[in-house]
Structure formats: structure tokens, C-alpha cells
Amino acid sequence: MVRRFGFKEDIELMFLNTYHHNLDEKGRLTIPARYRELISEGAYITLGFDHNLMVLTTSYFNEIAERSAKLSLTDPTSRQLMRLIFSNAERVEIDKAGRILIPQSLREAVQLETEAVLVGVLNYFEIWSPSLWNHQSESMTNAEANEQRFSALTL
């Protein structure tokens, strides 16, 4: 079972790096071997927050579900967040060829066609269309913007 990142010994349990892979005609995407190890028990795929997809381990998805269940149903923002995550979520399994099937509705929502960029983000990984990832990547490497954007964070 994959634990959430928290200690030095957990570094082997993180999603890291960026990979470029092709989707086949059925919407199957080859998952890098390193990521396969972390989602060998299955995973959940859902819409991300930046016109991308998120793939979460079962344990991390369950943790998010537990925390979401504690949100107030009377709060419109909480309901919107839960709709975004859970109404688009789908359980995925890795096939014998090391691929997952991305549902067509999710592929269409984030403009995935024949190529995808997989981006490790610590506890989960994201799937982007190459054009949208290039735009995101350019934004992330803007030093002037980063100085202001990240100044309040305490890493």
C-alpha cells in the first residue's frame, strides 16, 4: 500500500518527473514503470483543476473522499469541489501491457488525442495534452512571476 509522503524513507513512494507517451486508438495510455509500481493496486482518474487529469492511488483517493465527507453539504463551494472530483472519477487498472484506459469523456474534457504528458506531483500524477502542458510549463518557468507567486509559501 502506498503511504502519503511525509518522511525521508517515503521518497521511493513519490510520483516524480515528466514523461511523454502516446495514446492508442482506444484511449489507452502506457504508464511509466516507476508509476506502475505505485498504482499496482489500481487507481482513480478524475478531472484536475487546471484543464488536466489527475491519477490518484486508491489510498490517496480514499483519503480525499474521507476529508470531503466532512465538508458541509450546505456550502456551495464544497459541493462544487465534490462534484468536480467525484462526478468525473473512474477506477482504472493497469493491463498486462502496462496501460490504463482513459475514458473518452475525460480525454475530450482535457483535449487528449494521440499524445499525453505525464507529470509527477508527489502524491499523484497528472495527465496533460502536450499543448496545454507547454503553456503550463512556460508559466511555471517565469522567474519574475514565480518570485511573487511563491513568496508567501514556506517551503
Residue 9's pLDDT is what? 53
Burial class for 82, CB neighbours closer than 10 Å (0-12, 13-18, 19+): middle
| Per-residue model confidence as pLDDT tens digits over 82-97 | 999 999 999 999 999 9
Residue 12's pLDDT is what? 65
Q: Domain ranges in the chain?
A: 13-129
Task: Please provide the CATH number assigned to the domain covering 13-129.
Answer: 3.40.1550.20
| Per-residue model confidence as pLDDT tens digits over 114-151 | 999 999 999 999 999 999 999 999 988 888 888 888 88
The β-bridge relationship of strands 28-30 and 99-101 is antiparallel
| Per-residue model confidence as pLDDT tens digits over 36-73 | 999 999 999 999 999 999 999 999 999 999 999 999 99
Indicate if the alpha-carbon torsion angle 98, 103, 109, 113 is positive or negative: positive
Strand order in the sheet with 124-128: 18-22, 115-121, 124-128, 53-57, 43-47, 90-92
Residue 124's pLDDT is what? 97
- Cβ neighbours for 1, distance < 8 A, ≥ 6 positions apart: 41, 59
Residue 10's pLDDT is what? 58
pTM for this model (two decimals)? 0.89
